[in-house]
Chain A
Amino acid sequence: MNFTAFYTIVRKEVTRFLRIWSQTLLPPVITQSLYFIIFGTFIGSQISDIQGVSYMAFIIPGLVMMGVINSAFMNVVSSFYSTKFMKNYEEFMVSPASNQAIIFGYVIGGMLRGLLVGLLIFAVSIFFEQPEIANFGIILLFIILTSFVFALGGLINGIFAKNWDDISIFPTFVLTPLIYLGGVFYSIKDLPEVWQTVSKFNPILYMVDGFRYGFYGISDVPVLYSFGLLAGLTILLFGINIYLMRKGIGLKN
């Protein structure tokens, strides 16, 4: 892999999302703060503890993860599609930058935005609830792998996108429902059995659940399953990206 090319893309991506911070960093922090106020404080005060954790504390990991997923995905899809729209993807297509350098460059750029947004949301959550950390390693592992997976997903979406509508279809109609139904606001153990089973087909449940386990040591599904799923998705999506780049799908004529 060409590390200078990789570093160039990461730097370009980070500069981009920091330059337009009011569009990339601020909105998720404001939205999640409203969730903390409405669901955590106003409504949460009337909801009993879940598995020994207050409702406000319960939703914090899910809301952090929601911000991370959306930001990592959207950063890559919108940035990569813009390069296609302005045709400046040709800058790296005509260069000897390897496919790996391009993929890692965009994905790490997206990951960094996701992680920064997650950190900001977590910082805001401290105003509402004292943080508890059961296993910092698991927290780190889940947030890094999740942001990586969704950044890879964003790149696939960006590669296939042919117009601006195409970059919002997946986030709006697939990602958002999966996040909301992925155990951010509730434990699936409180659902009827049939919905528990249905929920287990939602990959985001495992990411949120594993991440929450790192904070409070509670989980709805075994953490090892969650880790296995994330690792599998990472390999699968990376493989798809490499295949698409090699074939030049969506990029070369």
Chain B
Amino acid sequence: MTKKAIEIIGLKKTYKGGTQALKKVDLIIEEGDFFALLGANGAGKTTIIGILTGIVLKTEGHVKIFDIDIEKDHNEAKKLVGVVPQEFNFNIFEKVQDIVIQQAGYFGISRKEAKKKLEPILKILDLWEKRDTQAMKLSGGMKRRLMIARALIHGPKLLILDEPTAGVDVELRHSMWNYLRKINQEGTTILLTTHYIEEAEALCKNVAIIKSGKIIKCAPVRELTQSLDSQSYTIEISGLNGNLELKEFEYSLIDSETLEVVVKKHQSINELIKALDTLNITVNDLTPKENKLERLFLNLVTESKN
């Protein structure tokens, strides 16, 4: 039986001033999972992470990390967790290696041992050459990677990443994704919060959508995307003469070379291409207008609003 990496039952958090950030959250994340927590700003994602890591005190509810109740022994639970926060939170005047080695020290790892662990982690995150550089002199992407190195130095079983690729360029984002996939395959459970829905779709096995402090959906990513009844595509075409008539499809002609078509669950892209071919229209390019999870996320958030 798979072990639970995180078990949250009836979690509530009300901040001073009365803001109710979490309204009875129940969530289970299994060991080895790559789990995404999706939600808009202020939905409660960072509060959940804060409670898991000991930065935020819960108001009510139970939280277990690998079966350790954080109320009974949070320090024991913390040993198993590495966290990459949303905002840079290291001492900008310190050198890269000092920041990582100090973090190891807080986890009870001696300097000698930490130095041994440092090299492979900094090398894989492409920071080894910068080990003697002050953190303030690093680029934004390097700072993000530094926080990942810091979170991994004690070899956590659970890695929590709060918006890890916010403000990171596309190339770096993909190299970070590859690294996260690798450590997940090696056995690290990953909980990721993100605004980038394609990030969750590309990386995660399971997803929970949180809105106004409540989990409104929790399911495997594949199951969620398959539940969509349609998908919109943007199609680059040529050869259109006069009016366009695609009887079986919902569509709109953006200009003489661009078409937007909604393909329903019972329809296929092949049928669409065949229909266009019959009209002597050539398909030059076809791309999904939005990714499936994004559509689903918007549907769910709108539904819950209504």
Contacts and interface: CB of A to CB of B under 8 A. Distances in A.
Nearest to A90: B89
A92 B91 CA distance: 12
Interface in A78-92: 82-83, 86-88, 90-92
Contact of B108 (A9, A11, A96, A248): A96
B78 A94 contact: yes
A2 B83 contact: no
Contact of B90 (A86, A94, A252, A253): A86
B106 A95 contact: yes
A95 B102 CA distance: 11
B141 interface: no
Contacts of A90: 55, 85, 89
Contacts of B203: none
B227 interface: no
B110 interface: yes
Interface of A: 2, 4-5, 7-9, 11-12, 15, 82-83, 86-88, 90-98, 248, 252-253
Contacts of B90: 86, 88, 91
Interface of B: 15, 50, 53-57, 75-76, 78-79, 81, 83, 85, 87, 89-92, 98, 102-103, 105-110, 150
A88 B78 CA distance: 17
Contacts of A93: 53-55
A94 B87 contact: no
B56 A252 contact: yes
Contacts of A4: 105, 108-110
Contacts of B83: 94
29 contacts: A4-B108, A4-B110, A5-B106, A7-B105, A8-B105, A11-B105, A82-B91, A86-B89, A86-B91, A87-B87, A88-B90, A88-B91, A90-B55, A90-B89, A91-B89, A91-B90, A92-B106, A94-B81, A95-B107, A96-B75, A96-B76, A96-B79, A96-B106, A96-B107, A98-B75, A252-B54, A252-B55, A252-B56, A253-B56
A87 to B, nearest CB: 4
A2 B15 contact: no
Contact of A96 (B50, B78, B87, B92): B78
Nearest to A15: B98
Given A252-B54, A253-B55, A87 B89 contact: yes
Pairs of residues from A and B, 4 with the lowest C-beta to C-beta distance, nearest first: A8-B105, A95-B106, A87-B89, A96-B75
Interface centre among B15, B85, B102, B106 (most CB of A within 10 A): B106
Contacts of A248: 57
Contacts of A97: 106-107
A141 to B, nearest CB: 31
Given A86-B89, A86-B90, A94-B78, A253 B57 contact: yes
Contacts, number: 73
A2 B104 CA distance: 12
A96 B83 CA distance: 13
Contacts of B107: 5, 95-97
Given A86-B92, A88-B91, 8 more contacts: A86-B89, A87-B85, A88-B90, A91-B90, A94-B54, A96-B106, A98-B75, A252-B54
Contacts of A253: 15, 50, 55-57
A87 B55 CA distance: 11
Contacts of A94: 53-55, 78, 81, 83
Contacts of B15: 253
Contacts of B50: 253
Contacts of B55: 90, 93-94, 252-253
A244 to B, nearest CB: 14
Contact of B106 (A8, A15, A86, A252): A8
B150 A252 contact: no
Contacts of A15: 98
A91 B81 CA distance: 12
A5 B53 CA distance: 17
Interface centre among B55, B87, B90, by most A CB within 10 Å? B55
Nearest to A12: B102
A31 to B, nearest CB: 25
Contacts of B106: 5, 8, 91-92, 95-97
A15 B97 CA distance: 14
Contacts of A252: 54-57
For A8, A11, A15, A83, the residue with the greatest tally of chain B CB atoms inside 10 Å of its CB is A8
Contacts of A92: 106
A129 to B, nearest CB: 39
Contacts of B98: 12, 15
Contacts of A88: 89-91
A249 to B, nearest CB: 11
B78 A91 contact: no
